[in-house]
Structure 1
Amino acid sequence: MANILVVDDEHGIRELLWEILNDEGHTVELAENAAQARAARLRERPDLVLLDIWMPDTDGVTLLKEWSTTGALTMPVIMMSGHATIDTAVEATKIGALAFLEKPVTLQKLLKAVEQGLSRGNLRKTVPLPMASVATAVAQEATSVMVAEKADTGPQAQQNFELDKPLREARDEFEKAYFEYHLAKENGSMTRVAEKTGLERTHLYRKLKQLGVDLTRGKRNGV
């Protein structure tokens, strides 16, 4: 089992993550701000860090950048936020974050991200790479993590997006690919897609029409 550092200024979230990860057999260290996170990183040498983006003293992206520029980013870092924009998430992955979890974090997504992070950390320890190769691998991984769940092997489990575009255009492309993926995965079932994405059916239908999503595509792929 692993040593995991959870950094979040919200007490309830820290305690919830501690309970979940502790039940999985991990050793969990908690920090409520960047200062505590710096000390815990030096003291505990965590195998993985779950890092909140919005914190009162130093935000998570700034702390991540600090670790990266000082050579302290030797462990996988998974960013968390309930209010971050796509730009913020992309910035974090460019700096070196492995993945991004949107709050409220579901149990399934949390455990999957932790498993992937620890696997990546073990790979780095087992097969050391030149720094240039590490940077390239992290950048490539970051792009795919932002648009897909890596364990999925179903239709359109991975997508490539051009980030050198206006935010609205890039966001629409991402959302269209996201909904097309889930429609195909759920064989076109609007009910299951609504449950999966957390949207009310009427809102979901309007969103799909607005994005120009082919509502019959999922059913054709599922046949």
Structure 2
Amino acid sequence: MANILVVDDELGIRDLLSEILNDEGHNVELAENAAQARAARGRIRPDLVLLDIWMPDTDGVTLLKEWSTTGLLTMPVIMMSGHATIETAVEATKIGAQSFLEKPITLQKLLKAVEAGLARTSAAAVRKPGMVAPMPVVELTVESAMTGGQSLPPAVELGPQPRQLFELDKPLRDARDEFEKSYFEFHLAKEGGSMTRVAEKTGLERTHLYRKLKQLGVDLSRGKRGSS
């Protein structure tokens, strides 16, 4: 679990990122401008910051530079924008940004960038006091400017799964509900109860997924208990 600060002037973006990160077990603080971000930075000492570039008062690159020059850039910062140029991404990376996410942000890229940023935070925590954490060496190509030079994690082979037997001598609706319940319970257990990841795996919108699980009587706590 980590403390993550999300800075974005768009309410929809803040709400979406907050929902996803909360679902992943993180504590999320929201700020809609640089002034609120400065206050939150001093109040909660975030482990990671997601920082929008284009904001009405002070833009994200300027705020990043401010934190860097005043010694406050002690946490990884992931920049976000839907309109920034490659030059802006490269500039932010040179100042000290961990990586750059281009809007609209996909779930996979968000979780990958957050995981990489928090891994850097964990590595810095075990260093001796007074040691300066080296900045990651990133080749400043278009791809590295947009992703922080992170590669996709390899696919995990799960191996053969146990077969589930269903009673077929029953009405189609009942048989279908029985199958769907087992299907969603399998994915909930596999993803540790993460509704975000189950929604991604099954191709359903989160609201539709919640309604479906409630209709089928699926115990939403099973996956989380099994992962603890």
Q: Distance in 2 between matches of 1:153 and 1:40?
A: 32
- Give the percent of matched residue pairs that are identical in Structure 1 and Structure 2: 71
User: Does residue 85 of the first structure (1) align with residue 85 of the second (2)?
Assistant: yes
Aligned pairs for 1:21-40 within 5 A: 21-40=21-40
1:181 aligned residue: none
How much has 1:143 moved relative to structure 2? 3.3
Q: Distance in 1 between matches of 2:131 and 2:43?
A: 26
Structure 1 segments of 4 or more deviating over 6 A? Answer: none
Specify which of 138, 143, 152 is matched with residue 141 of structure 1.
138
1:21–1:153 distance in 2 versus 1, CA, 3 Å? closer
1:12–1:102 distance in 2 versus 1, CA, 3 Å? same
Q: Distance in 1 between matches of 2:67 and 2:3?
A: 18
TM-score by length of 1: 0.63
Aligned pairs for 1:38-77 within 5 A: 38-77=38-77
3-state SS of paired residue (1:143): coil
Alpha-carbon deviations, 1:84-132, whole Å to 9, x = none? Answer: 000000000000000000000000000000000000111111125844x
2:120 aligned residue: 120
Aligned pairs for 1:1-223 within 5 A: 1-128=1-128, 130-131=131-132, 134=134, 137-138=135-136, 140-141=137-138, 143=140, 145-146=144-145, 150-152=150-152
Structure 2's unaligned 5+ residue stretches are 155-228
Are the aligned partners of 2:99 and 2:146 in contact in 1 as well (CA < 8 Å)?
A: no
Q: Distance in 2 between matches of 1:110 and 1:70?
A: 28
3-state SS of paired residue (1:127): coil
Query: Which residue identity lines up with residue 97 of structure 1 in the other structure?
Result: A
1:122–1:143 distance in 2 versus 1, CA, 3 Å? farther
1:177 aligned residue: none
Query: Which residue identity lines up with residue 78 of structure 1 in the other structure?
Result: I
Are the aligned partners of 2:8 and 2:33 in contact in 1 as well (CA < 8 Å)?
A: yes
Q: Distance in 2 between matches of 1:24 and 1:153?
A: 18
Q: Distance in 1 between matches of 2:7 and 2:93?
A: 17
Q: Distance in 1 between matches of 2:152 and 2:47?
A: 24
Q: Distance in 2 between matches of 1:99 and 1:121?
A: 14
3-state SS of paired residue (1:104): coil
TM-score by length of 2: 0.62
How much has 1:150 moved relative to structure 2? 1.8
Output the aligned Cα RMSD. Answer: 1.9
Query: Which residue identity lines up with residue 10 of structure 1 in the other structure?
Result: E
Q: Distance in 2 between matches of 1:147 and 1:49?
A: 16
Bigger CA radius of gyration: 2
Q: Distance in 2 between matches of 1:118 and 1:102?
A: 19
3-state SS of paired residue (1:71): coil
